[in-house]
Structure 1
Amino acid sequence: MTDDLREQVHAAARRARVAADELVLATRERKDAALLGMASALRARANEVLEANAEDVEAGRAGGTPENILDRLTLTEARIEGVAAGLETVAGLADPVGEVLRGSNLPNGLELRQVRVPMGVVGMIYEARPNVTVDAAGLALKSGNAALLRGSSSAEHSNTALVAVLRDALESTGLPADAVQLLPSHDRASVTHLITARGLVDLVIPRGGSGLINAVVQQATVPAIETGVGNCHVYVDAAADLDSAERIVLNSKTRRTSVCNAAESLLVHADVAAEFVPRITAALQAAGVTVHGGEGFAGEGVVPAADEDWDTEYLSMDIAARVVGSLDEAVAHIAAHGSGHTEAIVTDDVRAARLFTKRVDAAAVMVNASTAFTDGGEFGMGAEIGISTQKLHARGPMGLAELTSSKWLVWGEGHVRPSA
Structure 2
Amino acid sequence: MRLATALSAVTLLLSGFAAASAVVDLNTDNFDSYVGGSKPALVEFYAPWCGHCKNLAPTFDKLADAFPSQKVLIAKTDADGVGRALGERYGVKGYPTLKWFPANSKTPEDYTGGRDLDSLVAFVTEKAGTKSSIKAPPPPAAVELDAGNFNEIALDSTKNVLVAFTAPWCGHCKSMKPAYEKVATAFKSESDCVIAQMNADDEQNRPISGKYGVTSFPTIQFFPKGSGKPIPYNLGRNEEQFTEFLNEHCGTHRTPSGLLNDLAGKVVSLDTLASEFFSAAIPDRSAVLSKAKEALAALSLQGAASGIDKRANETAKYYVRAMERVVEKGEGWLVKEQGRIANLLASPSMAPTKLDELKVKANILSSFALKKVEEAYEHAGEYAGDAIKFAEDGAQAVQQKAGEVVEEVKAKVGEATGRVKAEL
TM-score (norm 1): 0.24
Larger Rg: 2
Q: Is the helix fraction higher in 1 or 2? A: 2
Task: State the TM-score, normalizing by the size of structure 2.
Answer: 0.24
Greater RCO (CA < 8 Å, at least 6 residues apart):
1
